[in-house]
């Protein structure tokens, strides 16, 4: 069973402790949900295997070696891992098992890791973290601790499946959404919001929320879908965008920069703009559902299947005044 005792112990003397009663109730409710119960037995059946190697700096996080255990044991582990399909964020290499996830999340990390403040000894919050791939990369960069939140319970299970073999580190993923975090924490040194912004119905409120979690001078790392365009231009899809539901606002980079300024951020920097390609997001043996190629116009890869501009993502950094 997933145990949060070390989380509570590590953070018991911080201002996050006031959140613990509500958080504990939230966790208990999440773990009584039907989806969690569906995966609980699978999680608890995972073998207890020792890993001879741990390298969180590689694109595919390396945990153990194929030589650590017998072929029979590793094949049994692979079959159990496949039961947690779909694997969207990664990749991971677990005892020689290549978990080839839908997203090459390492490519995004490579684009941003040298554009942000060093994470050494920083308190980090990763909002909408999925199965926690980037949380491990943040921890490897020297973060004091990393807290990820994601309401999708399969992602939470996948994170603790991986952590089961890494061992106890100061990295946790909580089954929570941004609305479950107390406002005005003024606490974290770095807050990441990657792939969340366009799902929020009120983008300015989201920027204010993120700001409230940061200490003064703390840094926001914001990654989101954008469009080519002038100041003030924003795409508001009428229905789905690239087959995604709940996509509300895709601003131009100049527009997003102006929103960050309006919300009181300083030292705003556009760190990267990259068009999403099938090298970075694709269907794999570990994610067999539809992916990027299926969401684009088959006759024009510069357009989505709905006729909108194809996905392009920007990374901004900014600081709280």
Residues 69 and 148 in one domain: yes
Kindly state whether residues 138 and 256 are assigned to the same domain. no
- Which range of residues forms the domain containing residue 213? 209-321
For residues 44 and 104, membership in a common domain is answered with yes
Q: Which of 91, 111, 148, 137 is nearest to 282 (CA)?
A: 91
Let me know whether 46 and 103 are in one domain: yes
| 102, part of any domain | yes
Is residue 147 included in any domain, yes or no?
Answer: yes
pLDDT digits (tens, 9 = 90+) for 22-51: 999 999 999 898 888 889 889 999 999 999
Q: Are residues 111 and 13 in the same domain?
A: yes
Look at residue 95 and tell me if it is in a domain: yes
197 found inside a domain: no
88's tokens: 């969207």
In the chain, the number of structural domains is: 2
- Tens digit of pLDDT per residue, the chain (321 long)? 798 999 999 999 999 999 999 999 999 999 898 888 889 889 999 999 999 999 999 999 999 999 999 999 999 999 999 999 999 999 999 999 999 999 999 999 999 999 999 999 999 999 999 999 999 999 999 999 999 999 999 999 999 999 999 999 999 999 999 999 998 999 999 999 999 999 999 999 999 999 999 999 999 999 999 999 999 999 999 999 999 999 999 999 999 999 999 999 999 999 999 999 999 999 999 999 999 999 999 999 999 999 999 999 999 999 999
Hey, what are 69's tokens? 């255990």
Whether 54 maps to a domain, the answer reads yes
Residue 189 lies inside a defined structural domain of this protein: no
Name the 3-class secondary structure at 106. helix
Instruction: Specify the residue for token string 């703009």.
Output: 273
Flag whether 243 is in a domain.
yes
Write down which residue in 181, 201, 220 finishes a domain: 181
- Same domain, residue pair 220 and 257: yes
Do 58 and 130 lie in one domain? The reply is yes
pLDDT tens-place string over residues 268-281: 999 999 999 999 99
User: What pLDDT does 184 receive?
Assistant: 92
| Residues 137 and 270 reside in one and the same domain | no
144 and 273 housed in the same domain: no
What pLDDT, on the 0 to 100 scale, is given for residue 211? 98
Contact status, residue 77 vs residue 49, Cβ threshold 8 Å: yes
pTM of the complete model: 0.97
The Cα 296–Cα 309 span in angstroms is: 9
Q: Is residue 204 part of a domain?
A: no
């Amino acid at each position: 069973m997933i145990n949060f005792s070390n989380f509570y112990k590590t953070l018991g003397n911080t201002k996050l402790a006031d959140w613990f009663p509500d958080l504990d109730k939230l966790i208990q409710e999440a773990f009584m949900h039907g989806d969690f119960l569906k995966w609980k037995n699978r999680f608890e059946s995972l073998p207890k295997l020792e890993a001879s190697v741990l390298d969180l700096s590689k694109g595919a996080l390396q945990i153990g070696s194929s030589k650590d255990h017998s072929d029979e044991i590793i094949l049994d582990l692979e079959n159990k891992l496949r039961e947690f399909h779909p694997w969207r964020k990664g990749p991971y290499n677990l005892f020689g098992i290549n978990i080839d996830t839908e997203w090459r999340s390492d490519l995004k990390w490579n684009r941003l890791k040298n554009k942000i403040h060093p994470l050494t000894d920083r308190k980090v919050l990763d909002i909408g973290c999925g199965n926690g791939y980037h949380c491990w990369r943040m921890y490897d960069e020297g973060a004091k601790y990393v807290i990820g939140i994601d309401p999708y319970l399969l992602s939470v299970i996948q994170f603790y499946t991986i952590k089961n073999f890494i061992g106890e580190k100061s990295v946790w993923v909580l089954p929570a959404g941004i609305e479950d975090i107390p406002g005005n924490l003024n606490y974290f040194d770095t807050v990441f919001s990657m792939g969340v912004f366009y799902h929020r119905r009120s983008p300015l409120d989201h920027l204010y929320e993120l700001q409230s979690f940061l200490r003064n001078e703390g840094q926001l790392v914001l990654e989101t879908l954008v469009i080519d365009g002038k100041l003030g231009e924003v795409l508001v899809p009428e229905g789905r965008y690239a087959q995604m539901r709940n996509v509300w606002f895709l601003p131009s980079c100049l527009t997003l920069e102006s929103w960050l300024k309006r919300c009181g951020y300083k030292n705003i920097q556009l760190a990267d703009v990259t068009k999403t390609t099938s090298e970075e997001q694709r269907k794999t043996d570990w994610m067999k559902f539809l992916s990027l190629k299926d969401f684009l116009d088959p006759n024009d890869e510069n357009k989505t299947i709905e006729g909108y501009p194809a996905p392009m993502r920007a990374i901004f950094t900014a600081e709280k005044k």
